[in-house]
């Protein structure tokens, strides 16, 4: 072990009792590779298994909790009991390599492509996304909101039955949970909307339903995490002060961890104190109440150590783990100079990347620091 990187490989035990062998996490990344009915594919399972040896925890791509919550083609499904065997296959493949397996659960809301949800695009309010060609969603009724809350609990039960070590509630990246918290997408005047406290009612109800499912169905330690985006570009949109209020409420729920969604861990906020990196602002506000996973353009060991030095409990690897499945092993051995930073068109099989994800990568110039691909 290279002693300079020892903090990255220190064990961690969550308040639920789930134990990690180190502080490295595979970040949740959409891979578009499940079957149309939500079952995982062999290629998808192999992709996760290849990246599960060396990290302490793997968070899967998002899995929809209802049929009308499917946000991507090739998405993992968790909305019906028939998918438990598929989920079990994925969990076991990750765990066999020594990592804890966490299923990310979500509902796409107004970002669901109409073709994937039989045209029934729903959200907190009938306000479309600012993204081009966005559908106008149907506002959910109070009964439907409560049904989706319960669906998160049922998806958690399925994750438990499938043998996962935990779930991560996906409250980030503009999906339904964030849509309820956002003043851009939530214009309701009932108990699910209004001021910042009213807009967090749905996220907190989801947390309650998930935690109740764990208390009812889990017979061994099972963790619950929550991912959030700290700000939105829309006007009106989620501000940093809004997010700090949400963090206070989430910290009171005694979650195992919070997971910020950032493109770069060094990025500065647009609101609040704009001279201090978002990650540092969030950590200072949490003040140790709940562990935080830091993420965003972590390519080197120095990047990962900087995230921990800022006060994060764990550091998530996204793109860097796609391009370098042996990131953890190489860093531990002091072989950082051999870390890959570039994808070449003939390396798909060697890197064990499913074809739908590989094609998406090749069609997104600049996704990696070295944009030219031979």
Give this prediction's pTM.
0.97
Helices 84-95 and 142-161: crossing angle in degrees, nearest 10, is 50
Encode pLDDT of 210-245 as tens digits. 999 999 999 999 999 999 999 999 999 999 999 999
Out of 47, 175, 226, 265, which one is annotated catalytic? 175
The pLDDT value recorded for residue 372 is 43
Assess whether 175 carries a catalytic annotation.
yes
Contact 118, 135 (CB under 8 A): no
**Residue 373 confidence class, pLDDT cut points 50, 70, 90:** very low
- Nearest of 233, 214, 179, 222 to residue 69 by alpha carbon: 179
Average pLDDT of the chain, as a whole number: 96
What are the residue ranges spanned by the domains of the chain?
3-362
Give the position of tokens 């995982």.
40
Encode pLDDT of 145-156 as tens digits. 999 999 999 999
The pLDDT value recorded for residue 368 is 60
- Nearest of 28, 113, 120, 37 to residue 76 by alpha carbon: 37
Q: Report phi then psi at 337, rounded to 5.
A: -60, -20
Question: How far apart, in whole angstroms, are the C-alpha atoms of residue 226 and residue 159?
Answer: 15
Task: Read off the tokens for 161.
Answer: 């039955």
Task: Read off the tokens for 280.
Answer: 């540092």
Does the pLDDT value for residue 371 go beyond 60?
no
Question: How far apart, in whole angstroms, are the C-alpha atoms of residue 163 and residue 220?
Answer: 10
Question: What is the CATH architecture of 3-362?
Answer: Alpha-Beta Barrel (3.20)
């Amino acid at each position: 072990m290279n002693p300079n990187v020892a903090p990255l490989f220190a064990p961690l035990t969550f308040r639920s009792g789930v134990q990690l062998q180190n502080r490295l996490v595979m970040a949740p990344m959409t891979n578009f590779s499940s079957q149309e009915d939500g079952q995982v594919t062999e290629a998808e399972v192999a992709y996760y298994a290849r990246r599960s040896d060396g990290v302490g925890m793997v968070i899967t791509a998002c899995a929809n909790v209802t049929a009308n919550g499917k946000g991507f083609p090739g998405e993992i499904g968790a909305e019906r009991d028939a998918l438990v065997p598929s989920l079990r296959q994925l969990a076991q493949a990750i765990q066999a390599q020594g990592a804890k397996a966490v299923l990310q659960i979500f509902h796409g809301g107004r970002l669901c492509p109409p073709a994937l949800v039989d045209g029934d695009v729903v959200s907190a309010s009938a306000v479309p996304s600012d993204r081009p060609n966005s559908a106008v969603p149907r506002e959910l009724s109070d009964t439907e909101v409560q049904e989706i809350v319960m669906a998160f609990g049922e998806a958690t039960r399925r994750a438990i039955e499938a043998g996962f070590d935990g779930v991560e509630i996906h409250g980030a990246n503009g999906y339904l949970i964030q849509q309820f918290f956002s003043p851009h997408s939530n214009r309701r005047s009932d108990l699910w909307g209004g001021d910042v406290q009213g807009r967090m009612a749905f996220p907190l109800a989801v947390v309650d339903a998930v935690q109740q499912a764990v208390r009812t169905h889990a017979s061994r330690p099972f963790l619950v995490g929550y991912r959030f985006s700290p700000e939105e570009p829309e006007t009106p949109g989620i501000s940093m002060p809004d997010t700090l209020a949400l963090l206070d409420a989430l910290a009171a729920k005694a979650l195992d961890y919070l997971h910020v969604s950032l493109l770069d861990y060094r990025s500065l906020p647009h609101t609040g104190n704009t001279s201090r990196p978002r990650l540092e602002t969030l950590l200072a506000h949490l003040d140790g109440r709940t562990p935080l996973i830091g993420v965003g353009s972590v390519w080197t060991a120095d990047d990962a150590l900087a995230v921990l030095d800022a006060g994060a409990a764990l550091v998530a690897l996204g793109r860097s783990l796609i391009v370098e499945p042996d990131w953890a092993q190489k860093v531990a051995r002091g072989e950082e100079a051999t870390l890959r930073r570039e994808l070449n068109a003939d390396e798909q099989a060697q890197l064990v990347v499913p074809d739908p994800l590989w094609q998406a990568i090749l069609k997104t110039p600049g996704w990696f620091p070295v944009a030219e691909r031979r």
